[in-house]
Amino acid sequence: GQSTGSENAEVVPGGALLPLKRGAAGEPQTPGQGSEVEPTTRGGEAVSAAAGRDVEALALAFDEVETEGIKLLEIGSDDMLKCLQEGGAVIKASEPDEKVVLCTEDKTFAVRVVETSNSVFLVEDGSSECFQPRVTVADDGEAEANTGGTPGPMTQMATVSARACEGDGGSQVARRQGVRVCTIVSENWEIEQIAPDFRKLDELLRGLEEGGAAGGVEEEEGYTTEELLREIQGSESELLEELHARSDAMQVGDRWVHVSEATTSALVDVLVSKVCEGGWAWGDLPLEQVLSAMEAEDFRREATLHAIRTLGSAPLFLGSVTPESAGLIEESKLCVHYARRLLRKQSFGKAAQFLEEWRKVVPVGMEPSVEMLGGLALVDESGGLAVFDDLPRDPAKRFDALFAHQKRWRAKDLKLFAEGMTIPPGKQMDDVLEDYLHSYHPQGDTSNPLMYVQKVI
């Protein structure tokens, strides 16, 4: 709605309109400035008791039926305004109990309702067709106002205006010459950039049938990026970044499918044997040859490329692979893959026992070490082994899980387990740690290692 001219008039009790004088420079004056202006009404038109002076009056007319569905959105930048005007943003909430978010191409914003201290009149040009009152049709075919059981502010103001204009048709004059108020709002929306929420993505991927490496993937399996965007509270750029970083999702054609832990384990075992058989270096894999060798074992080329990228680096897309393309598998990531698989199969009370079994399953020539377990398992001073697999993304829940195990954490250990949690936009990991934790040096001596304890909220 437009708000043109409403600053020139003030509605006063009884439905009268208070005109505002203009000063020498054209600025409005209130009744307390200069000569006193007494508001009076005469047939719904406001006049001034200040004789001999030019007074500009503006009439406000109130519709009997309020226009519904109008929301005020407060935005903080010209870029966001341009994005909204060009249709580059969407407001969505896939479930009734979900928060409402506004997503642009690469950012996600929380949308919150904020009540205003004063009511805001939305007015429009009388010739405008952008606002149309909403009406319902009664059983007898007559249109009736959709006012509900209790008169709202628009209905009350319309009634007051009508009473003030009774007797000489003044209301029609006001409607023709004045500014029409189409609705009154007492709240607006404000937006704040937040991190995307991928919990629904976890549910969708887990709910898919196996779209794994061995065998084919039916055309209707999985989700397109557009289908995921309708369900996920995040932007397209954020969603794609998350999908490409995950080990349990890969793209086949235009659809994203789920890759199970069992499928990944089977593929990696065959991949390791093929690399050893071909005599290829882990840090310089001839991708075209590797993909062909795995395809001969009935593993999809997309799945093999995805596994190599998860364990090291490789092109994002199969079409980017050329005969000269090379990939690499990092020794530490491959060792952690076997460590996670071993820890999920059985429990180990002591680190020494686990290390012994771990060395047996990694490829020949690789030497696993406790330092590789950061973020997966913690070895305490007594040699005990505690496993922290599949930690929550939410910082509060993650810290609850970690500090339930021990009350104090060394900073260098804790930061490894904090990787992968949700970091709000504009913040770093240290900022999040400061929000939830207290840090200190034992005995106040900075030569002692920095420690963290959880804040009591």
| Residue in this structure with the two tokens 């290692």, named with its chain if needed | 449
Are 341 and 308 within 8 A, CB to CB?
Answer: no
437-440 β-sheet, strand order: 409-410, 451-454, 437-440
Q: Between vectors from CA 136 to CA 133 and to CA 141, what angle results, nearest 5°?
A: 125
pLDDT category of residue 454 using cuts at 50, 70 and 90:
very high
Average pLDDT over residues 241-265: 91
pLDDT above 60: residue 159? no
The predicted structure's pLDDT at residue 60: 73
DSSP alpha helix (H) spans, 132-260: 153-164, 170-177, 199-206, 225-231, 236-245
Cα–Cα distance measured from residue 250 to residue 410, given in angstroms and rounded to the nearest whole number: 36
pLDDT digits (tens, 9 = 90+) for 409-440: 999 999 999 999 999 998 999 999 999 999 99
Top mean-pLDDT range of 80-84, 166-170, 314-318: 314-318
Mean pLDDT of the chain: 78
pLDDT above 80: residue 149? no
The predicted structure's pLDDT at residue 19: 38
The predicted structure's pLDDT at residue 24: 41
The predicted structure's pLDDT at residue 20: 35
Cα–Cα distance measured from residue 121 to residue 261, given in angstroms and rounded to the nearest whole number: 59
Is the pLDDT higher at 242 or at 219? 242
Amino acid symbol at 158: A
pLDDT above 60: residue 23? no
Is the pLDDT higher at 130 or at 456? 456
Which of 9-18, 199-208, 222-231, 252-261 is predicted least confidently? Answer: 9-18
pLDDT digits (tens, 9 = 90+) for 31-62: 444 434 344 444 334 444 444 455 556 677 77
pLDDT digits (tens, 9 = 90+) for 351-410: 999 999 999 999 999 999 999 999 999 998 899 999 998 899 999 999 999 999 999 999
Q: Between vectors from CA 153 to CA 121 and to CA 183, what angle results, nearest 5°?
A: 35
Are 267 and 213 within 8 A, CB to CB?
Answer: yes
Nearest to 51 by CA among 71, 36, 66, 64: 36
The predicted structure's pLDDT at residue 333: 96
Q: Which long-range contacts (CB under 8 A, 24 or more apart) does 287-296 make?
A: 287/314, 287/315, 287/321, 287/325, 287/326, 287/327, 288/321, 288/322, 288/323, 288/325, 290/327, 291/321, 294/267, 294/270
Are 222 and 258 within 8 A, CB to CB?
Answer: yes
Are 71 and 188 within 8 A, CB to CB?
Answer: yes
Nearest to 435 by CA among 390, 379, 395, 381: 395
Strand, coil or helix: 96? coil
Share of the chain above pLDDT 70, in %: 70
pLDDT above 50: residue 258? yes
pLDDT digits (tens, 9 = 90+) for 290-328: 999 999 999 999 999 999 999 999 999 999 999 999 999
Average pLDDT over residues 60-77: 76
